């Protein structure tokens, strides 16, 4: 396959995957969707923590741990956590012990275009981090963490209440 054919196949796969995801989401209870997105984000944060620590020199650089966390972050982001902001998940779910709270701001739904931009930023930053990890270059690896942090913070500032 040439480059354009690969792009076409990738696009078709993406559309198919999105279709499957949408079907699954429609069948999901609001409290399960809130729990899913919060769990995914928390697991991402558990991986980002050591990466930020190493990038800032607060903990010793360990190439194996850095690489594992960076690739895991890419793999978990591919679960597409923003897809779980389905209708009915803008407020805590009454009576649900598990999803009795949410920090989602109304702007997630009222400014979908900006929310999409924030997701694109995250996807790009995480992709570049994983690429740097695959290169094995310590400087590039550490440098790539900064933009991931900016993508996290930017989106949380705009779309997550304190």
Q: What is the binding site for a copy of itself (CB under 8 A)?
A: 13, 16-17, 20, 35-36, 38-40, 42-43, 46-47, 62, 64-65, 68, 71-72, 75-76, 78-79, 97-98, 100-101
The rounded Cα 11 to chain-centroid distance in angstroms is 20
Q: C-alpha distances in angstroms, 86 versus 4, 17, 23, 62, 106?
A: 33, 17, 12, 38, 12
Give the shortest CB-36-to-a copy of itself separation in angstroms: 6
Q: Which is nearer to a copy of itself, 75 or 161 (CB)?
A: 75
Q: How far apart are CA 60 and CA 100, in angstroms?
A: 38
Residue 27 has, within 13 A of its CA and on its CB side, a CA count of 5
Q: How far apart are CA 35 and CA 31, in angstroms?
A: 6
Q: Which is nearer to a copy of itself, 16 or 112 (CB)?
A: 16
Q: How far apart are CA 121 and CA 77, in angstroms?
A: 12
**Residue 79 structure tokens:** 């679960």
Q: Which is nearer to a copy of itself, 54 or 155 (CB)?
A: 54
Give the shortest CB-31-to-a copy of itself separation in angstroms: 12
Give the shortest CB-119-to-a copy of itself separation in angstroms: 18
Give the shortest CB-72-to-a copy of itself separation in angstroms: 5
Q: Which is nearer to a copy of itself, 114 or 142 (CB)?
A: 142
């Amino acid at each position: 396959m040439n480059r354009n054919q690969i792009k076409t196949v990738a696009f078709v796969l993406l559309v198919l995957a999105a279709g499957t995801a949408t079907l699954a989401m429609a069948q999901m209870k609001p409290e399960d969707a809130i729990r899913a997105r919060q769990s995914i984000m928390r697991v991402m944060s558990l991986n980002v923590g050591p990466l930020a620590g190493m990038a800032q020199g607060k903990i010793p650089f360990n190439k194996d741990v850095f690489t594992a966390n960076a690739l895991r972050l890419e793999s978990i982001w591919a679960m597409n956590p923003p897809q779980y902001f389905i209708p009915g998940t803008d407020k805590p779910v009454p009576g649900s012990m598990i999803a009795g709270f949410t920090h989602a701001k109304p702007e997630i739904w009222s400014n979908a275009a900006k929310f999409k931009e924030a997701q694109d930023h995250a996807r790009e930053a995480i992709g570049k981090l994983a690429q740097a990890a695959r290169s094995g270059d310590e400087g590039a690896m550490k440098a790539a963490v900064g933009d991931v942090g900016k993508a996290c913070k930017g989106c949380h500032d705009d779309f997550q209440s304190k």
